[in-house]
Amino acid sequence: MKPDLFEAPDYYNLDDLFSEEHKLVRDAARQWVKRDISPIIESYAQKAEFPKQILGGLAEIGAFGPYIPETYGGAGLDQISYGLIMQEIERGDSGVRSTASVQSSLVMYPIYTYGSEEQRKKYLPKLATGELMGCFGLTEPNHGSNPSGMETKFKDAGDHYLLNGAKLWISNSPFADIAVVWAKNEDGRIQGLIVERGMDGFSTPETHNKWSLRASATGELIFDNVKVPKANLLPGKSGLGAPLGCLDSARYGIAWGAIGAAMDCYDTALRYAKERMQFGKPIAAFQLQQKKLAEMITEITKAQLLAFRLGQLKNEGKATTQQISMAKRNNVDMALKIAREARQVLGAMGITGDYSIMRHMMNLESVITYEGTHDIHLLITGADITGIPAFT
């Protein structure tokens, strides 16, 4: 892996819009990624292993629940800070960002938002320090884009619930200490349960042979008559809206994160194009390369503005699910296209692990599918502007 020479593009001087604290938080994350992620990430991706030693560092830079109030061990930061942290981590690797997104938005967020005071106190401070790691079980083998059809269910068994079913494509599952699991009760209503590692009948087999998010651990959650204490039911909300609320938060983070991956690809391609000589001049001097680079920075700038405005709306509590869908869809698609174009700029060198581009590209193939597929997000916008849902 080459030394990390990353310089963040800021074509529209967005830094002028960020507060002093936003920049302090972002720069700390940026510095940490350069020091602790860039030197190791390629080898972990190549050997398909999650670098567990970075969990403490992720907690230190505030990647676990940055917007959770200080009372519960969070940092009490705003949504733009959360976005900037996700951007910087994904600049390093989408898999590492996924681990942070899951912990923050899919585990800490539901426990904070839908959990009891006891649950908040019990889990959130330890999740914030990384002492406990969590995962989120919604997707099932037969229910991806249609989570309401889920088959995982639980029933009242007196002093506990009995949970049965299976979840698939679960980031962090192989090492998570707890899982926030969505299942149907006896009335068919979706509710959240906190399942802890070690409970009888609960297993988390790892998913192998991924070509994407290789430095992130993905697996299944299998529940075979798992006895879940009644105190582990999230009491605050039921129905599909509860897990979807978590997804809003995670998708918002992804909209920022994808910018990080795109920035890294663009920055790498720009540097390479200025140094690589062909026909007696740098390839950056050729119009076709300039077209690629100019379009990349244009798209990154548009994505940055979209994410910034969405951040303002989130801070004001006004961001809609539909607005978040648009940003997630646009920004991930933008990043994936930039990764592909940037790979072309590097020619054959682009396929090697000496550069981060192909790793980002392969990672983004997951990111464009998880947390609502590219197509489903389009239909969310379609339904919003026409008033006619076209999902089925």
Catalytic residue positions, numbered: 371
| Helix H or strand E segment including 123 | helix 117-129
Terminal-to-terminal C-alpha distance of the chain: 46
* Alpha-carbon gap, residue 74 to 54, rounded angstroms: 18
**Under rule CB under 8 A, residue 131 binds other proteins:** no
Which of 2, 14, 76, 203 is close enough to bind other proteins by CB under 8 A?
Answer: 76
- Nearest CA-CA partner of 204 in 195, 214, 191, 194: 195
Stretch that binds other proteins, among 27-35, 217-225, 271-279, 362-370 (CB under 8 A): 27-35
Which of 24, 231, 294, 351 is close enough to bind other proteins by CB under 8 A?
Answer: 24
Which of 41, 45, 54, 75 is close enough to bind other proteins by CB under 8 A?
Answer: 75
Site map 294..313 versus other proteins, x via CB under 8 A: --------------------
Q: Name the residue nearer to other proteins (CB basis): 77 or 176.
A: 77
**Under rule CB under 8 A, residue 28 binds other proteins:** yes
- Which SS3 state, helix, strand or coil, does residue 109 take? helix
For residue 205, give the DSSP letter.
P
- Nearest CA-CA partner of 32 in 360, 338, 260, 359: 260
* Alpha-carbon gap, residue 249 to 109, rounded angstroms: 8
CB-CB neighbours of 205 under 10 Å: 12
**Under rule CB under 8 A, residue 70 binds other proteins:** yes
For residue 248, give the DSSP letter.
H
| Helix H or strand E segment including 345 | helix 321-345
The β-bridge partners of 170 are: 219
Name the residue with tokens 């960002």.
Answer: 97
**Under rule CB under 8 A, residue 7 binds other proteins:** yes
Stretch that binds other proteins, among 16-24, 168-176, 242-250, 364-372 (CB under 8 A): 16-24
Q: Name the residue nearer to other proteins (CB basis): 70 or 375.
A: 70
Q: Name the residue nearer to other proteins (CB basis): 42 or 267.
A: 267
Stretch that binds other proteins, among 25-33, 131-139, 264-272, 282-290 (CB under 8 A): 25-33
Q: Name the residue nearer to other proteins (CB basis): 25 or 80.
A: 25
**Under rule CB under 8 A, residue 277 binds other proteins:** no
Name the residue with tokens 């582990």.
Answer: 232
**Under rule CB under 8 A, residue 31 binds other proteins:** yes
The β-bridge partners of 140 are: 143
Cβ pair 28, 314 in contact under 8 A: no
Stretch that binds other proteins, among 40-48, 62-70, 178-186, 192-200 (CB under 8 A): 62-70
Nearest distance from C-beta of residue 205 to other proteins, angstroms = 34
Stretch that binds other proteins, among 59-67, 209-217, 336-344, 352-360 (CB under 8 A): 59-67
CB-CB neighbours of 225 under 10 Å: 11
**Under rule CB under 8 A, residue 275 binds other proteins:** no
**Under rule CB under 8 A, residue 40 binds other proteins:** no
**Under rule CB under 8 A, residue 61 binds other proteins:** yes
**Under rule CB under 8 A, residue 157 binds other proteins:** no
| Helix H or strand E segment including 335 | helix 321-345
- Which SS3 state, helix, strand or coil, does residue 148 take? helix
Cβ pair 323, 308 in contact under 8 A: no
**Under rule CB under 8 A, residue 284 binds other proteins:** no
**Under rule CB under 8 A, residue 124 binds other proteins:** no
Applying CB under 8 A, the site for other proteins has a residue count of 20
* Alpha-carbon gap, residue 364 to 336, rounded angstroms: 6
**Under rule CB under 8 A, residue 25 binds other proteins:** yes
- Applying CB under 8 A, which residues contact other proteins? 7, 13, 20-21, 23-25, 27-28, 31-32, 35, 59-62, 66, 70, 75-76
